[in-house]
Structure 1
């Protein structure tokens, strides 16, 4: 019967657990780790994105953070190596070159192994796909934000711009690097947003109409052909409603604050009755203003269904009816809009 005492290493003559070389000699004869002499990192000088093979990825990491990880990619281990560890020291030698000194350790066939190597890191610059499109004035669509039969308000313009920017940030964080906004311009008629993809254009118009109301239409234009595929640029036209949220309008002998507008009806809060209801757009006599432009007026007294308000412009006391739904107290402020000599108290 063969025992472990009968097995010996043909190289060193020592005992072996298996036929052939012992673990120590196997480890000594195995190329357990190799280092590439040079590795390259390509980054965009404009936005800092890094390129891996043919794919660009956004990153906020600086060169000092990237260098150790880049150096570790130069090491290739034998599959039998366990407990692998690599320590790295970086020395910058020029703006586009660094040297990495690596200490590599592990265990192979139960024996500890270690080695050192030096790797040159090359830092290449190349304009990324997104920056290349932006600088080349490439775009796939324009979102035009306008208002129906009126001038778009500053609030609406700022809100539309904020919605577009938020959508761009969300898409970029999700990896859609080519879904970008290359330009945002305020015009006499409204806001123009130039976009790098049709996907972001569609999401922007859907976001704006969802929050500000209105409707949108798309107008594609054939601009060429590439690889047998037709290339279109799309104009997305957003038409904000004639009336916007928080507009105050006159309805016959009463006033109301607009809450929501759709294609058929307008939902308002009746400032006389203190309730919400739906009306038709043609029921509106005229526009008074918007709640955002209301002025604070101090309540001097409340008595017998009337309120005495101090006119913020003159300081004189103006008496207005107190509606049953209004809960107000002397010494408080209420928001008011003017319709000629009439004070309209907001809710």
Structure 2
């Protein structure tokens, strides 16, 4: 049955309607709240590090207030499910240090017709210390990484390398969202290095990284410090024990000198400074450490003739004659690196 003309009129305004018994498009738009706008929004910012808080979660951020304001204002607008292709233009003005006002112009398409509206949103800028800064300022920590060496104090290179590894681990975890995996202090002491950490995870990764780079081993020692919400709380000391010898140490075994390349269990892989061969010797066969090739000093080659070379001792300025080493190519006027064993000069790589 064909509908009559009467059935196709809008029951509200009397204008023609596209569908029988339904409102026309204009009345449908007029009776539909196609958007709502919150009167105010709040931004919680850490004054120490700039992190922002959403609900109960802190997120690191480097964005300025001018970048955050339009986004916060847009978050106050909520569209009807039938609204299509929404767009929001925002104009923000600061009222005070802690308040801003955003004027919004809103466009969309509703029932195939363009619609426009405006609203105003107050932005509250609230400051609160974040979870990480609160822990750091309160001297909170969950463990310590202690870097020590077997039978000696760690060298300068080892200390610097361990500190660098710790900072790299922290940067990686922080950029990955682990905000509470932080380092609150790095202190060099007589026996080595102490790294105070904010989480057990970062302590484990730092220990593993140092051992992978410098050798040695690590162990963990938990200590019960209390209980919270029925859960036992522990602080863990990660003891990193570097090997007795480090890379580039020059050692003496018998009447020969060797440069350490790698420590393997109870053996040391070395470079023989007499003939240039790689050799593995037992730790117990090493008499003493002469020094480290990183700390060698340069000496001028005064002459090179046959199997002999003459070095100008940089300390005494006297010429010292040594046997030419088969793994070197030395000419008069060159400089070589040397270490001292008493009065004896040792050429190192």
Output the CA distance in 2 between the equivalents of 1:299 and 1:106. 84
Output the CA distance in 1 between the equivalents of 2:83 and 2:90. 19
Q: Which has the higher mean CA deviation after the structures are superposed, 178-187 or 7-16?
A: 7-16
Offset of 1:104 from its aligned partner?
Answer: 1.0
- Out of 117, 128, 135, the residue aligned to residue 119 of structure 2 is 117
Counterpart mapping for 1:43-62 below 5 A = 43-62=45-64
Q: What residue in structure 1 maps to residue 343 of structure 2?
A: 341
Offset of 1:4 from its aligned partner?
Answer: 11
CA offsets 1:40-65 (integer angstroms, 9 cap, x no match): 11111111111100111111111111
Counterpart mapping for 1:218-297 below 5 A = 218-297=220-299
Q: Does the 8 Å CA contact 1:90/1:99 hold for their aligned counterparts?
A: yes
Offset of 1:90 from its aligned partner?
Answer: 1.1
Provide the aligned C-alpha RMSD in A.
Answer: 2.0
Q: What residue in structure 1 maps to residue 322 of structure 2?
A: 320
Output the CA distance in 1 between the equivalents of 2:2 and 2:311. 111
Offset of 1:121 from its aligned partner?
Answer: 0.4
Output the CA distance in 1 between the equivalents of 2:339 and 2:168. 33
Output the CA distance in 2 between the equivalents of 1:25 and 1:301. 105
Residue 18 of structure 1 pairs with residue 8 of structure 2: no
Output the CA distance in 2 between the equivalents of 1:205 and 1:79. 54
CA offsets 1:80-132 (integer angstroms, 9 cap, x no match): 22221111111111111111111111111221111111100011111111111
Output the CA distance in 2 between the equivalents of 1:179 and 1:320. 55
Output the CA distance in 1 between the equivalents of 2:321 and 2:309. 6
Q: What residue in structure 2 maps to residue 163 of structure 1?
A: 165
Output the CA distance in 2 between the equivalents of 1:265 and 1:76. 70
Q: Which has the higher mean CA deviation after the structures are superposed, 89-98 or 149-158?
A: 149-158
Q: TM-score, normalised by structure 1?
A: 0.93
Aligned residue for 1:142, secondary structure, equals: strand
Distance 1:8 1:308, change over 3 A: farther
Output the CA distance in 2 between the equivalents of 1:337 and 1:15. 103
- Out of 37, 40, 47, the residue aligned to residue 42 of structure 2 is 40
- Out of 22, 28, 31, the residue aligned to residue 29 of structure 1 is 31
Q: What residue in structure 2 maps to residue 76 of structure 1?
A: 78
Count of paired positions: 347
Q: Does the 8 Å CA contact 1:39/1:122 hold for their aligned counterparts?
A: yes
Output the CA distance in 1 between the equivalents of 2:52 and 2:148. 39
Q: Which has the higher mean CA deviation after the structures are superposed, 48-57 or 25-34?
A: 25-34
Q: What residue in structure 1 maps to residue 67 of structure 2?
A: 65
Q: Does the 8 Å CA contact 1:4/1:15 hold for their aligned counterparts?
A: no
CA offsets 1:240-291 (integer angstroms, 9 cap, x no match): 1111111111121211111111332211111122132221101111111111
Aligned residue for 1:259, secondary structure, equals: strand
Q: What residue in structure 1 maps to residue 311 of structure 2?
A: 309
- Out of 170, 183, 186, the residue aligned to residue 184 of structure 1 is 186
Output the CA distance in 2 between the equivalents of 1:277 and 1:18. 95
Offset of 1:315 from its aligned partner?
Answer: 4.0
Q: What residue in structure 2 maps to residue 172 of structure 1?
A: 174
Q: Which has the higher mean CA deviation after the structures are superposed, 252-261 or 307-316?
A: 307-316
Output the CA distance in 2 between the equivalents of 1:211 and 1:332. 33
Distance 1:21 1:328, change over 3 A: farther
Output the CA distance in 1 between the equivalents of 2:113 and 2:187. 67
Q: Does the 8 Å CA contact 1:214/1:262 hold for their aligned counterparts?
A: no
Q: Which runs of 5+ in 1 are unaligned?
A: none
Aligned residue for 1:343, secondary structure, equals: strand
CA offsets 1:277-318 (integer angstroms, 9 cap, x no match): 221101111111111111122334433133333333344433
